[in-house]
Structure 1
Amino acid sequence: MEQSSDLAAAIDAAAVALVDVLDAAGVRHRMTVSPTQLRVLSLISSRPVTNVNGLAELLDVVPSSASRLCDRLEAVGLLRRVTDPRDRREVRLVPTPAAEALLRELRERRQRAVRAVLDRMPPRTQQELLLGLLAFARAAASEAQPDSSARTA
């Protein structure tokens, strides 16, 4: 049990270090959007059928706050509100090409920063980390699925 606690503490420390690396790789000093606005763009980009109410749920905020965030992103040309062709009462949030480019640049910067850290690790340790992370992701995914027997190994 103590080994499990040590491992959990090590993962927590590694997560903090990873967040620090990712934050340092961010282009906040050159960006015109806040970290919260970046998160909104990322959420919308990965969920193409998101509306303001859905975004509010994802952010755990009231819809009016989510709508104001969208207003600011729309004002700087990073977000569009588009009527859903299947239900004209529904308005979807769509990242603009400029937003997609911004997210792509941020993702590339972050990956370069992580690669720089990985390059300071021995190749064998990198391989062990890869295997451990894949196993962790599988275990986390099986926890999230109600019927884990239906998934493939």
Structure 2
Amino acid sequence: MERPADLAAAIDAAAGTLIAVLDSAAARHQVPPTQLRVLTLISSRPETNVNGLAELLDVVPSSASRLCDRLEATGLLRRVPDPRDRREVRLVATAAALTLLRQLAEQRQRAVQSVLDRMPARTQHDLLLALVAFGRAATQSVPEQQPDPAAQTA
């Protein structure tokens, strides 16, 4: 099956537009995007410590620690001793952080719904099917490439 040459470019452009819609909803909050990302990561990974966060963010631990300092100062993050190893410190999103993340998710969904409401129902349905298929394809494991026997005889 042949696909339009500009399909990847159209998806990239649509992703940029989606990000702009999502960012417009997040702009109402006083928390910078990087700090929101940290809170999202921590809230979904309760075992996270500063070193683990640094790995997730692909930054050095001192940078992750400074991010945590800022979040802790605003009451959105707590550092608590790990009950399994008291030498370790876990990062925990506070109730205020979880409320903030929930409100943000609701605002983002409303912003996306506002755009969807301007689309015909059939197009919305087709988009849903396409996004589900895209998500499945993106999470499928890619088979390893077998070496080309002709290339090995050279």
TM-score, with length taken from structure 2 = 0.87
Structure 2: any 5+ residue segments left out of the alignment?
145-154
Q: Does 1:6 align with 2:26?
A: no
SS of the equivalent of 1:49 reads coil
Q: Percent identity?
A: 74
> Taking structure 1 as reference, are residues 145 and 48 closer, same or farther at Cα in structure 2, changes over 3 Å only?
farther
> Taking structure 1 as reference, are residues 82 and 5 closer, same or farther at Cα in structure 2, changes over 3 Å only?
farther
Contact 1:79-1:96 within 8 A present in 2 as well: yes
Alignment of 1:3-152 (within 5 A): 3=3, 5-28=5-28, 30-31=29-30, 33-143=31-141
Question: Equivalents in 2 of 1:15, 1:143: separation in Å?
Answer: 23
> Taking structure 1 as reference, are residues 7 and 27 closer, same or farther at Cα in structure 2, changes over 3 Å only?
same
Q: Which has the larger radius of gyration?
A: 2
Q: Which runs of 4+ in 1 moved over 4 A?
A: none
Normalized per residue, which structure has more helix?
A: 1
SS of the equivalent of 1:143 reads coil
Deviation at 1:144, TM superposition (A): 6.9
Structure 1: any 5+ residue segments left out of the alignment?
147-153
For these two proteins, the number of residue pairs brought into alignment is 144
Letter in 2 for 1:69: L
Q: CA RMSD in A?
A: 1.9
Deviation at 1:87, TM superposition (A): 1.6
SS of the equivalent of 1:69 reads helix
Question: Equivalents in 2 of 1:71, 1:10: separation in Å?
Answer: 40
